[in-house]
């Protein structure tokens, strides 16, 4: 029994975020509703959702920037309503909007930010240098922020979130607008944070990004969590594996789409472009050509992770609406 209790204590000690029934109302509208969340040290948790899903609002509550309407929230074992300053001192935050001062040099930007956490000048410079090295930006230390590339600025924002040596790191769309190379570089920074036993919560629109760096993912829509689990487990199951892309110069109506038959799980029409989700792409493509739906031919490709997650999220959202 004693061994079990010790193990339980170690588990509780690693719990960085604990939320139960979290709700946030803004102007009478629920933007976060009934969210349960646990994040432990050395874990990366992803919040995935389209605009308006509630991911940024949830991060704002974890950062103590917004007070919850109801529910229970503990961050680093502290109550945000009482211990906001202490939580902020131990938390690193990178918002989705560029809040860097374009007039400062990169090292000065980080040093001035470190001073906000009570570091003396020399210590602040040391923290800035460590953060620049962490982000691979040491050679940009004397570069004016406004002259950095977009990817470098995003990496600098992540470095700034690291400057106070945080136990919890909150990243809101850290790779927005980045090139694939910069996206990979920021992903590597997240993995290094996890390796150093920090807890990371990352909000993103891209499931592919979350799949690479996250241990668990919460898929959100309209403020609620639709599904939660390891990225690989969320996409497991009997779902369409292929997409048949069809170009229809004159568009497609219901009658025309009927030629695809019952092998299609879902059809999306985007102007002259039709996407048919199926597990038998070859047969559906043949039906499209034979039925005159694809005068210019078809293309069969695998479903992307983001598309697969979209199908799952749509199914879960319909289920939620049916019980409301």
- What CA–CA distance (Å, rounded) separates 148 from 182? 13
Distance CA 257, CA 138 (A): 56
Q: For the chain, give the percent of residues with pLDDT over 90.
A: 60
Strand partners, 225: 220
Measured in whole angstroms, how far is the alpha carbon of residue 80 from the centre of its chain? 23
For residue 103, is pLDDT > 70? yes
How many other CB atoms sit within 10 Å of the CB of residue 271? Answer: 9
Only one residue has tokens 């369409």, namely 240
Residue 278: strand pairing partners: 242, 264
Burial class (CB in 10 A: 0-12, 13-18, 19+), 254: exposed
Q: Give the list of residues 6+ apart from residue 286 with CB closer than 8 angstroms, or none.
A: none
Confidence class for position 10, pLDDT limits 50, 70, 90: very low
Total Cβ atoms within 10 A of residue 191: 14
Q: Are 94 and 158 in contact (CB under 8 A)?
A: yes
Report, as an integer, the average pLDDT of 143-148: 97
Residue 120 token pair: 């003396």
pLDDT, position 12: 46
Q: Which residues contact 79 (CB under 8 A, 6 or more apart)?
A: 73
Residue 223's closest CA among 61, 51, 22, 30?
Answer: 30
Q: Label residue 306 by pLDDT band (50, 70, 90).
A: confident
User: What does the pLDDT look like over 239-298, one tens digit per residue?
Assistant: 788 888 888 765 555 556 676 777 888 888 877 788 888 888 888 888 888 877 777 778
Give the pLDDT of residue 274.
83
Q: Are 63 and 19 in contact (CB under 8 A)?
A: no
All residues at 6 or more sequence positions from 14 whose CB lies less than 8 Å from its CB, including other chains: 40, 41, 42
Torsion of CA 6, 12, 15, 20, to 10 degrees: 160
For 314, the enclosing helix (H) or strand (E) is helix 305-323
Looking only at the bridges linking them, the beta strands covering 44-48 and 199-204 are parallel
C-alpha dist (Å) from residue 12 to 17, 41, 282: 10, 10, 52
84 and 64 in contact (C-beta within 8 Å)? yes
At residue 289, φ and ψ (nearest 5 deg) are -70, -45
Task: Report d(CA 100, CA 288) in Å as an integer.
Answer: 52
Domains identified in the chain and CATH numbers: 14-90+166-175+190-237 (3.40.50.300), 96-160 (no CATH), 242-302 (3.30.70)
pLDDT tens readout for residues 171-224: 999 998 899 999 999 999 999 999 999 999 999 998 889 999 999 999 998 899
Q: Bridge-partner residues for 270, per DSSP?
A: 273
Q: What is the mean pLDDT of the chain?
A: 87
CA distance 254 to 110: 57
pLDDT at 106 over 90: yes
């Amino acid at each position: 029994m004693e061994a079990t209790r010790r193990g339980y204590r170690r588990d509780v000690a690693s719990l960085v975020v604990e939320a139960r029934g979290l709700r946030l109302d803004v102007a009478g509208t629920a933007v976060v509703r009934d969210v349960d969340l646990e994040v432990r040290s050395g874990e990366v948790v992803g919040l995935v959702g389209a605009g308006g899903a509630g991911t940024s609002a949830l991060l704002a509550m974890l950062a103590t920037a917004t007070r919850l309407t109801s529910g229970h929230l503990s961050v680093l074992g502290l109550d945000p309503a009482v211990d906001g300053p202490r939580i902020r001192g131990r938390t690193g935050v990178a918002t989705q909007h560029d809040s860097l001062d374009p007039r400062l040099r990169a090292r000065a930007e980080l040093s001035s930010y470190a001073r906000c956490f009570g570091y003396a000048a020399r210590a602040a410079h040391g923290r800035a240098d460590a953060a620049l090295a962490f982000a691979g930006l040491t050679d940009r230390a004397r570069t004016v922020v406004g002259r950095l590339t977009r990817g470098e600025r995003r990496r600098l924002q992540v470095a700034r979130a690291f400057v106070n040596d945080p136990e919890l790191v909150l990243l809101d769309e850290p790779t927005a607008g980045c090139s694939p190379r910069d996206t990979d570089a920021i992903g590597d920074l997240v993995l290094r944070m996890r390796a150093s036993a920090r807890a990371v919560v990352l909000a993103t629109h891209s499931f592919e990004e979350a799949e690479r760096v996250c241990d668990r993912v919460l898929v959100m829509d309209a403020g609620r969590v639709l599904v939660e689990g390891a990225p690989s487990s969320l996409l497991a199951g009997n779902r369409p594996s292929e997409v048949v892309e069809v170009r229809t110069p004159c568009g497609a109506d219901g009658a025309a789409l009927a030629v695809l038959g019952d092998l299609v799980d879902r059809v999306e029409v985007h102007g002259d472009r039709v996407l048919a989700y199926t597990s038998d792409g070859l047969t559906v493509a043949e039906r499209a050509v034979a039925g005159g739906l694809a005068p210019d031919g078809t293309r069969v490709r695998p479903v992307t992770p983001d598309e697969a997650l979209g199908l799952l999220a749509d199914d879960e959202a319909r289920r939620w609406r049916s019980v409301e």
